[in-house]
Amino acid sequence: MDVPLDIVWFDDQRSRDIALVGGKAASLSRLASGHRVPPGFCLTTAAYDAWSRTARPAHRQAGSPLPQSLRAALRDAYAELGRRCGADPLRVAVRSSAIDEDGVDASFAGQHETFLNIVGVDAVTEALIGCWSSGRSQRALAYREGSGLDANGIHLAVLVQQLVPADAAAVVFSADPVSGRREEVVIDANFGLGESIVGGSVTPDAYRVDKRSGAVVDRSIGSKTVMHIPVPGGTREVPVPRPLRAQPALTDEQCAACAALACSLEAEMGHPVDVECAFHDGQLYLLQCRAITRLPSDPNETRAPDRHGEHDGTDDRLDARP
């Protein structure tokens, strides 16, 4: 590489290079080639290195300003992302996507910062520095030391992605994770962002969709007492209005769209998948996709347990969550 590449877009082939953008951003970029993933770009490990070199050691923890050229590049990219999304002001998620010097994905859950619902280039810059600095936080360093990893070997890429202000979010399984049945898609859904479903703070709606016909064959409306909404600088858990709790979060058409997405990802990956997605303004966005872990064998088949039944899902996890 002649010129250090500071910023790459998801639609750029180079954004699939784990060494350049980290595992999270690379997998997301792969998904973006065939599905509607919220658009975004990555601040590469090269950009991190440039920042890291200019930052005085004492500032690496506290947060050091960006080099002038990088500052300009970020401003242009944020403006371009706004144009691509047709959003003004543009809300983004700013997330760490780390790798080790040996190129292994190092996006340790919870060890590096994520900033949701960031608006404006100044706030994005601040969030970026926050992400980079978090790689050097006492907590992250202690974790790395405990894991036998080199504390100085970290390279932090950061991804900046449109935050989809979800009208409703869903977690979709292309097979029943409990019974192992393959002919139905199982959907959990709630109003707002997906956090309430993933985090288990509500009993979401549960739908079953027949894979062949796309028809909703079973529907159980969850209590859905709360939902997550974006608020300046993050998200907030708020109550779902009582009269709305009894209403389904997804229409039958939306259920069918979720099922179709899960089926197509299952076909691409060659095994049952667990998908996070969200609806906004009538569009279905793919946020994350990974193999279903510990899926029981299909009760309709007599053969031995599915090979993917013991799959831990780590290496082909395709994370597109903003």
Partner 1 sequence: MTDPHATPFTPTPIPTPEDFPVQWSNEEDAKLHWMRDRMHFPETVSPALDLFFEAHNAGFVHAFALYEMPLEALVLRRINGYAYNAVVPRKLTHDEMAAMGKRAQQNLGAAMMRSAEHWNDELLPEVKDHLRFWQDADLEGASMDELLELAAETRRRWTRLWEIHFELLVPTLLAGSLFQETYADLFGAERAFDAFTLLQGFGNKTTEINVALWRLARSASEDVRATILGTDPAAVAAVLRESESGRRFLASFEDYLQVYGRRSETWELNRPSWIEDPTPVWRMLREHLSQPDADPAAELARLADQREAALADTRASLTGYPQPVVDHFEAMLRAAQDGAVLSEDHGFYIDFEGAYHVRRVLLEFGRRMAEAGALASADDITMLTFDEVLASVLEQPFVDRRALVEERRRDLAHFGALQEPEMVGTRQPGPPPEDPVGRAIGRFFGTPPQASADPEVLNGHAGSPGVVRGVARVARSLSEAQDVRRGEILVTTMTAPSWTPLFGTVAGVVTDTGGALSHSAVVAREYGIPAVVGTLRATALIRDGQLIEIDGSAGTVRLVERTSDLA
Binding residues vs partner 1 (CB under 8 A): 117, 165-168, 191-192, 227, 229-231, 238-244, 246-247, 249, 280-281
Cα 215 from chain centroid (whole Å): 28
CB of 164 to partner 1, least distance (A): 11
Residue (97 or 117) nearer to partner 1, CB: 117
Can you list the positions of beta strands (E) in the chain? 7-9, 40-43, 91-99, 114-119, 155-162, 168-173, 184-191, 205-210, 216-220, 226-231, 234-239, 273-280, 283-291
Spatial distance between the Cα atoms of 317 and 273, rounded to a whole number of angstroms: 10
φ and ψ of 183, to 5 deg: -90, -5
Residue (33 or 251) nearer to partner 1, CB: 251
CB of 179 to partner 1, least distance (A): 26
CB of 168 to partner 1, least distance (A): 6
DSSP 105: B
Residue (225 or 264) nearer to partner 1, CB: 225
**One-character DSSP codes across 41-99:** EEE-HHHHHHHHHHS-HHHHHH--PPPHHHHHHHHHHHHHHHHHHT-SSPEEEEEEEEE
Residue (248 or 272) nearer to partner 1, CB: 248
CB 9 within 8 A of CB 85: no
Residue (180 or 248) nearer to partner 1, CB: 248
Spatial distance between the Cα atoms of 175 and 104, rounded to a whole number of angstroms: 30
Sign of the Cα pseudo-torsion (131, 276, 109, 99, in order): negative
CB of 239 to partner 1, least distance (A): 4
Residue (247 or 300) nearer to partner 1, CB: 247
Residue (180 or 230) nearer to partner 1, CB: 230
Residue for token pair 């002038």: 68
CB of 80 to partner 1, least distance (A): 24
CB of 90 to partner 1, least distance (A): 14
CB of 249 to partner 1, least distance (A): 7
Spatial distance between the Cα atoms of 130 and 116, rounded to a whole number of angstroms: 12
